[in-house]
Structure 1
Amino acid sequence: MKYLKMSAFILLYMAVYFIISNYIGFVFGIFYMIKEIIVNPDVFLYGSPDAFMDTFVKNSVWFMAIAALVSFPIYAFILWLRKQNIFRVCGFSGISVKDMAITALMGISLNFVIEYLVAISSLNDLSPSVQQMFSQIFDGNSFVVILIAIGIVGPFIEEVIFRGLILNELRRNIPLTAAVIIQAVLFGAYHMNLTQGIYATLLGIILAQACIKMKSIWAPILIHMLFNSTSVVLAKLIDPYILMTYQYFILAGSVILLVFTSILAWRGKKSIVNIY
């Protein structure tokens, strides 16, 4: 019975953000079509549907950001109904300046390492449509908008869901190792494409370990934010030629930095069984 209850809550936590973001996208689509019918009826009736899809994809970062802002109080309400506090359950405890610096550097170096592994393994070829979608998003939005949505808001709500709610729901009912693996697999599957799913699963394990070892959800939040933000900065501000020219130096430096920060993060840290 307890496993059925655990599974039900995990599905609920995953469904809330997913449903809200899709609902916002649906509402946007309806209003966009109404506007096009009024303003450009001929274009709407006889034009290519690709134009609508391009607009929809470009604005998807807004759907994600708004959904995150709406979802958090809903999660808080769900836990309130369970007589729990979202800040205590998720582990919003203090984190030292030293640990903040370590996790930030870990997020940046981890991005370079994983991006390089994805590139040399041709993982991007497994989901070409996803790469096209990201190109549309990055080309159709400003640096600030993408940084806020993908670099800050998205990682925050994903960490609340997976390293906060789901990981701790699992930890209450099953062994810690199994909990870490299951939440990582769910995190990978949540991205709904093979390329991201593979490396997101690996990332999910690392983020869970950071959360457990540092006893604060701020650790994986910072790693995740810097991981995503690095991708945004590289895509929007850095000349690809520079990255290609110095790729081996960048990779070597990133590996060294990742190993160094991982040792600092893990040294002397003791995991805890549950946080509530």
Structure 2
Amino acid sequence: MNKLFKTSGLILLYLVIYYFFQIFYTLGLGFVLGTKHAELFGTDAFEEIINQKVMEHIPISLIFAAFVSVIIYYLICKKRNESFLNVCKFNKMSLKHVAILIPVGISIYFINIFVLNVVHGLGLFADSFAQHEESMGFILGDNLFLTILAVGIVVPIIEEIIFRGLVFSELKKHLSLKVTIVIQAALFGLYHMQLIQGVYTFLFGILLGLVYVWLKSIWAPIILHALLNLSSIIMVEYASPDFFNNYLFISFIISVVVTVSVFTYLYKNKVEAVDSFEEDIVDIVEEDHPDS
């Protein structure tokens, strides 16, 4: 029981650190701006300036929080006599695996956007979709370079370090592999604190967990995560409404075929067969079909 509490506390610490430094940066920015524009305090102009600058600095807050958090995560691992790089499995990947993950990352974006459009079109979860669109508008800011750097590169790296690296490693010490994959994905979804985004990041987290296990390198989920985010940024910035009206369905079909094909290939050609995972699957099959 003590080990369980210790593990839960450590996982909570990992999650809070990154979130805390985002808030820390934002509060610091608010204090600086409040001091600079103190003469406007209490007016609508003051509130507008603060809100605008805070929104503009979201990408920078993400980068700042990621940089500081990685240093702290490194020190925590060092304190525990563990190698940060080994815990997170920063192992080399073959160019073949990198190449086949690229179309999958893009495909997952089209699958996600198609399903969201269908659900939205049915009028389901209208309030949640409004919140989702508002939050995406904040994150995908006006500065394209900063958005690509923060959301397309830095966020995938730091979130994979947290969830597929540190959290996954702690969970796997006490739980079976299949349970670890589900729990880390659930935490990944909950961490986004928004219903629509939480659901699809949970499902995405399952896929990220699988490629992490099968390829034994955190670079695999980082590549998928980055390509999904970059696809979203590029499509929001450059795609015309005609594309979504005319080509989204065929893009969805192609994307499903690509994703299923590649994941089937990766499962059948795992890097150093994941024995514990295979044993879990065998156990499930044997429980469902006992000898007569």
Q: TM-score, normalised by structure 2?
A: 0.87
**2:166 paired residue number:** 165
Q: Which residue of 1 aligns with 2:119?
A: 121
Q: Which residue of 1 aligns with 2:35?
A: 34
Gap regions ≥5 residues in structure 2: 278-292
Query: Hey, what does 2:61 align to over in structure 1?
Result: 63
Q: Which residue identity lines up with residue 46 of structure 1 in the other structure?
A: T
Aligned residue pairs, count: 269
Change (3 A) 1:159 1:124: farther
Q: Which residue of 1 aligns with 2:289?
A: none
Letter in 1 for 2:36: K
Q: Paired residue for 1:47? A: 44
* Distance (Å, rounded) in 2 between the aligned partners of 1:16 and 1:117: 33
What is the alpha-carbon distance in structure 2 between the residues aligned to residue 147 and residue 170 of structure 1?
A: 31
Q: What is the aligned partner in structure 1 of residue 132 from structure 2? A: 130
In the superposition, the TM-score normalised over structure 1's length comes to 0.92
Matched-pair contact (CA < 8 Å) for 1:215–1:272: no
SS at match of 2:18: helix
Q: 1:112 maps to what in 2?
A: 110
Please say which structure displays the higher CA radius of gyration: 2
Paired position in structure 1 for 2:6: 5
Following the alignment from structure 2 to structure 1, what is the Cα–Cα distance between the partners of residues 9 and 43?
Answer: 46
Contact 1:187 1:204 in 2 (8 A): yes
Contact 1:91–1:215 at 8 Å: present in 2 too?
A: yes
2:87/2:165 contact within 8 Å kept: yes
Query: AA paired with 1:169?
Result: E
Letter in 2 for 1:47: D
Structure 1 SS opposite 2:106 = helix
- Give the counterpart letter for 2:52 in structure 1: D
Describe how 1:111-260 pairs up with structure 2 within 5 A.
Answer: 111-122=109-120, 125=126, 126-138=128-140, 140-260=141-261
Query: Quick one: which amino acid aligns to residue 57 of structure 1?
Result: M
Counterpart amino acid of residue 77 in structure 2: L
Structure with the greater relative contact order (CA < 8 A, sep ≥ 6): 1 or 2? 1
Q: CA contact under 8 A between 1:124 and 1:131: conserved in structure 2?
A: no
Structure 1 pair 51/131, CA: closer, same or farther in 2 (3 Å)? farther
Q: Deviations over 1:46-96 (max 9, x none)?
A: 225344323312321110111111111110000000000010010001100
CA contact (8 A) 1:207 1:220 kept: yes
| Contact 2:148-2:233 within 8 A present in 1 as well | yes
Give the RMSD, CA atoms, in angstroms. 1.7
Distance 1:249 1:51 in 2: 44
Q: Point out where structure 1 has 5 or more consecutive residues left out of the alignment.
A: none
**Cα drift, residue 14 of structure 1:** 0.6
